[in-house]
Amino acid sequence: MAGLIKVAHSAQIKENKPFALTLEDQKIVLIRHQGRLLAFKDSCPHQGAPLSHGFVKDGQITCIYHGWKFNLDDGSFSANEKLKLKSYVVREENGEVFLELP
16 burial (CB, 10 Å; 0-12 / 13-18 / 19+) is middle
For residue 72, the SS3 value is coil
**Cα–Cα distances in Å, from 69 out to 26, 53, 77?**
21, 13, 6
Kindly report the pTM of this predicted structure: 0.94
What integer pLDDT is reported at residue 2 of this predicted model? 56
Q: Could you read off the pLDDT of 18-77 as tens digits, one per residue?
A: 999 999 899 999 999 999 999 999 999 999 999 999 999 999 999 999 999 999 999 999
